[in-house]
Chains A and B, each alone.
Chain A
Amino acid sequence: MLKNYFKTAWKVLLRRKFFTFISLFGISITLMVLMVVTALVNYMFGAHAPEKNMDRMLYVTRLQMTGDGTQMNSAPSYYFLNRFIKPLKSPEKISIYSNSNYTSINFTSGRKLEMKTRYTDSEFWRIMDFNFLEGGAYGDAAVEGAQLVAVINEATSLNNFGTVKGVGKMLELDNRSYKVVGVVENVSAIRPSTYSDVWIPYTTTKDDLGNANYTGSFCAVLLARDADDLDDIKKEFYSTAAKIPLMPGQEFTELKVFADTHLEGFVREITASVENEVNAGLLYAVVFGGMFFFMLIPTLNLVNINISRIMERASEIGVRKAFGASSNTLVLQFLFENIFLTILGGTIGILLAAGALHLINNSGFIPYAQLGLNLPVLFFSLLICLFFGVLSGVYPAFKMSKLHPASVLKGGSK
């Protein structure tokens, strides 16, 4: 039975090559775009190294202070995080580290090398799962002793030493020599909470960390024991935050600080929300709404073409009906054919998407991006294909099944 359906579907595809081309072109391009978007979203928000435990993490990245007509948005300072956030009881681990706005410069080789640099504590390495190619992280002793040690990524090691085996070499950063203790795999720039070229102990900074200024360039990550604990941590976080005294010597009247999951943080960034809870569902609604709208045009197009194609087969349908095939059988057959077509288009789409992703990776457009089609992406693509196939096949199939055998066989297909 299924084999017959395949045969028919294949023959129909070959009969009108131009229509087949139009259908496949529309399907494959649409699915390609959707797959690239899916891969990008997965890469941005999925839990993979170094943020493998993302479902247990909360990030504190933003501090907002408002006063009479003025508002200040900034990253918090080390002082602020260390004094008010670090003492929280409910998280398993808390790390304080700088955001990646800091650029170190190295002139030793005669050319200028710019490296994004992050100051971290030792807890950072226990929370994040970096893939070490060589060596390891620096520990508590190195951070407390303000030792000049550094963990660098693959690209930095290659640029500076011409090899990925940089451990033990000395790295010049802003005229100071750091000893490389570990080399990690590159982390892409679209992972804003971990991306960097160089990681060094925060105690080696020239900035005055004891300065009682609340605003600065640090952030904190809170690791829960269990994903279910996130709500408890948030509760403790916000009740603590409500008690933080206002920044001395400034005319602000209100202070807000937020603990968000990666996704919530992203939504907060776009919506500029100052509520304690942001609605990440909104993002889903926008993304799925956008995808649906994007699929609408090719779907309408496919419905149009399908109706034309199916009416061409009116006499075939008439014969099948006359020999006793029920409407349901015919609807199923046509849906099957359409899904077959969609999956064919989807396969081409996957190839195109793989090409497009390869192009994006190689263009260096997103530093160190390694976008790819992994299992979740492929699974989601298959879902999109099925959805697309059913959506564009239902109406024509329904229309077809309504045809009356007698009138069709007589020759009038209207």
Chain B
Amino acid sequence: MIKHLFKLVWNRRRANFLMIMAIFFSFLVLFGTISVLVSSWKNYKQPLGFEPERIWYVNIQHFQTPKDEVRVVSEQLVRRLQTLPEIEQVALASGNSAYSGWSNMSGLTHGNLQRGINAVTIQAGDFKKTMNLNLVEGRWFQAGDEFSNKKPIVVTQNVKEFFFGNEPVAGKKLKSGDDEFTVIGVVDAYRTRGELNSDVGTFMRISSLADTSRLVENTLYLRMKPGITSGFEEKLLKEAGAVATGWKLDVKPMEVMRSSYLKENLTPLVVFAIICAFLILNVALGIFGVLWYNINKRYSEIGLRRALGATANQIYRQFLGEILVLATLGLVLGSFFAIQFVLLDVMGMQPEVYYYALAISIVVIYLLVIVCAFQPSRQAAAIHPAIALHEE
């Protein structure tokens, strides 16, 4: 049966070649689009590690304030804001949080293992409570850690797994250039590139405002009490202005930053998906039209087969089978190229993403051709032998 179908397809190879090419290119486009969608979806499903809902992100510009004064005033500012009844928690840290567009990558090594990881420096306030981080192992920073010569750090779960597998982290060391850090704790996640991008991992270190060898960080993270609206901003700036005269505070609720991040990152995805859908719809209509025409042209052939005893069901299955053979040929060719993409890792995603995408694309193409072939094949099966042969 299958051999026979291949023979039928081969006999009309010229006409079928174009159909196979159309299926082949559609498959490639579908595969590319679905890979990106699957990858984004997988990233989106991973926990973010913190809650952006009530957090305000405040960027500070010090202008020409002398450096020593910046240290003192920053300390006062954090303490002052902590006393405001609208604010639950305050932390002063580096600005490389999610949605900020900043990154600060450091290469960490342990033995032969090496990986670029986002480095967050905490300088004042309680960062863990502010961001609501979830500690899963070890301990968080405590008083005195900022001056400890062991240089304690807290890492995210994926960093821990990369360097130490399932071993407990207590006392483990990580190197960055000449620095040697001691891992004291693990948080489940703290994603700094947003939920649609892959997680590179984060480590957090602590430093003191009194330490003159380090720059003063210029980002405040405020965790607001529930129900505080953006109307509070004016009061906040007034309160801050009383302590830090002449500085400029740029206040952004993280939710606002998040929605513009999502807008920026989802738009290309949606546009690609829509264009891809139109292309595929286009091809589907084309396949439908060509099949419909072919069946009209093979009227007498079908009539003859029916007269020789083929049932309507057999005719139906023959036409469906032919298009499935065509689709299979297109898909085999397409999968061959798609796998080259995977092997060369053109798009830089995890291998499993490609396998999901490959499977989904194959299923979609098969479904598509079956749907397109359904009506014309039924029409073929309904041909009455007497009428067909009479016309001949």
- Asked if A26 and B293 make an inter-chain contact with CB atoms under 8 angstroms apart, the answer reads no
B290 proximity list for chain A (CB < 8 A):
304-305, 308
B interface residue numbers (CB < 8 A to A): 15, 18-19, 21-22, 25-26, 29, 63-64, 177, 230, 233-234, 237, 246, 248, 250, 263, 267, 275, 278-279, 282-283, 285-290, 292-294, 297
Question: Known: A22-B285, A22-B286, A112-B233. Contact between A206 and B22, CB under 8 A?
Answer: no
- Asked if B15 and A26 make an inter-chain contact with CB atoms under 8 angstroms apart, the answer reads no
Rounded to whole angstroms, the CA-CA distance of A305 and B282 in the bound complex is: 11
- Asked if A206 and B246 make an inter-chain contact with CB atoms under 8 angstroms apart, the answer reads yes
- Asked if B289 and A26 make an inter-chain contact with CB atoms under 8 angstroms apart, the answer reads no
- Asked if B26 and A18 make an inter-chain contact with CB atoms under 8 angstroms apart, the answer reads no
Rounded to whole angstroms, the CA-CA distance of A95 and B15 in the bound complex is: 63
B237 proximity list for chain A (CB < 8 A):
107
What DSSP secondary structure best describes chain A's contact surface?
A: helix
A174 proximity list for chain B (CB < 8 A):
248
Rounded to whole angstroms, the CA-CA distance of A307 and B290 in the bound complex is: 9
- Asked if B279 and A107 make an inter-chain contact with CB atoms under 8 angstroms apart, the answer reads no
Rounded to whole angstroms, the CA-CA distance of A26 and B22 in the bound complex is: 13
A242 proximity list for chain B (CB < 8 A):
none
Residue from B15, B26, B263, B285 with most neighbouring chain A CB atoms (10 Å)? B285
A365 at interface by CB-CB < 8 Å: yes
- Asked if B234 and A29 make an inter-chain contact with CB atoms under 8 angstroms apart, the answer reads no
Rounded to whole angstroms, the CA-CA distance of A112 and B251 in the bound complex is: 11
CB distance from A272 to the nearest CB of B (A): 14
Residue of A nearest to B274 (CB): A33
User: Which of A77-85, A295-303, A322-330 sits within the interface?
Assistant: A295-303
Q: Which of A19, A105, A301 contacts B283 (CB 8 A)?
A: A301
- Asked if B63 and A207 make an inter-chain contact with CB atoms under 8 angstroms apart, the answer reads yes
Number of contacting residues on A, CB 8 A? 34
A311 at interface by CB-CB < 8 Å: yes
A interface residue numbers (CB < 8 A to B): 18-19, 22, 25-26, 29-30, 33, 69, 103, 105, 107, 112, 174, 206-208, 294, 296-298, 300-305, 307-309, 311-312, 365, 413
Residue of A nearest to B29 (CB): A297
23 contacts between A and B (CB under 8 A): A18-B292, A25-B282, A26-B282, A29-B278, A30-B282, A103-B250, A107-B234, A107-B237, A112-B234, A206-B64, A207-B64, A298-B279, A300-B18, A303-B18, A304-B19, A304-B22, A304-B287, A304-B289, A305-B290, A308-B290, A308-B293, A308-B294, A309-B293
Residue of A nearest to B177 (CB): A69
- Asked if B18 and A307 make an inter-chain contact with CB atoms under 8 angstroms apart, the answer reads yes
B250 proximity list for chain A (CB < 8 A):
103, 105
- Asked if B282 and A33 make an inter-chain contact with CB atoms under 8 angstroms apart, the answer reads no
- Asked if A29 and B282 make an inter-chain contact with CB atoms under 8 angstroms apart, the answer reads yes
Given A300-B25, A301-B286, 9 more pairs with CB closer than 8 A:
A18-B289, A22-B288, A25-B282, A26-B286, A294-B279, A298-B279, A300-B21, A303-B18, A307-B15
Rounded to whole angstroms, the CA-CA distance of A69 and B116 in the bound complex is: 13
Rounded to whole angstroms, the CA-CA distance of A301 and B289 in the bound complex is: 10
- Asked if B282 and A298 make an inter-chain contact with CB atoms under 8 angstroms apart, the answer reads yes
Rounded to whole angstroms, the CA-CA distance of A33 and B274 in the bound complex is: 11
Rounded to whole angstroms, the CA-CA distance of A132 and B378 in the bound complex is: 67
Q: Which of A29, A300, A312 contacts B22 (CB 8 A)?
A: A300
Q: Which of A25, A300, A303, A312 contacts B293 (CB 8 A)?
A: A312
Residue of A nearest to B392 (CB): A411
B282 proximity list for chain A (CB < 8 A):
25-26, 29-30, 297-298, 301
A297 proximity list for chain B (CB < 8 A):
22, 25-26, 29, 279, 282-283
CB distance from A302 to the nearest CB of B (A): 8
- Asked if B18 and A208 make an inter-chain contact with CB atoms under 8 angstroms apart, the answer reads no
Q: Which of A26, A208, A413 contacts B63 (CB 8 A)?
A: A208
CB distance from B25 to the nearest CB of A (A): 5
Rounded to whole angstroms, the CA-CA distance of A15 and B277 in the bound complex is: 28
Rounded to whole angstroms, the CA-CA distance of A25 and B63 in the bound complex is: 59
Rounded to whole angstroms, the CA-CA distance of A26 and B18 in the bound complex is: 16
Residue of A nearest to B12 (CB): A414
Residue of A nearest to B21 (CB): A300
Residue of B nearest to A112 (CB): B233
B177 proximity list for chain A (CB < 8 A):
69
B287 proximity list for chain A (CB < 8 A):
304
A29 proximity list for chain B (CB < 8 A):
278, 282
CB distance from A72 to the nearest CB of B (A): 12
A207 proximity list for chain B (CB < 8 A):
63-64
Rounded to whole angstroms, the CA-CA distance of A115 and B294 in the bound complex is: 63
Residue of A nearest to B63 (CB): A206
A69 proximity list for chain B (CB < 8 A):
177
CB distance from A126 to the nearest CB of B (A): 30
Rounded to whole angstroms, the CA-CA distance of A261 and B237 in the bound complex is: 41
CB distance from B302 to the nearest CB of A (A): 15
B294 proximity list for chain A (CB < 8 A):
308
CB distance from A82 to the nearest CB of B (A): 18
Rounded to whole angstroms, the CA-CA distance of A115 and B297 in the bound complex is: 67
- Asked if A304 and B246 make an inter-chain contact with CB atoms under 8 angstroms apart, the answer reads no
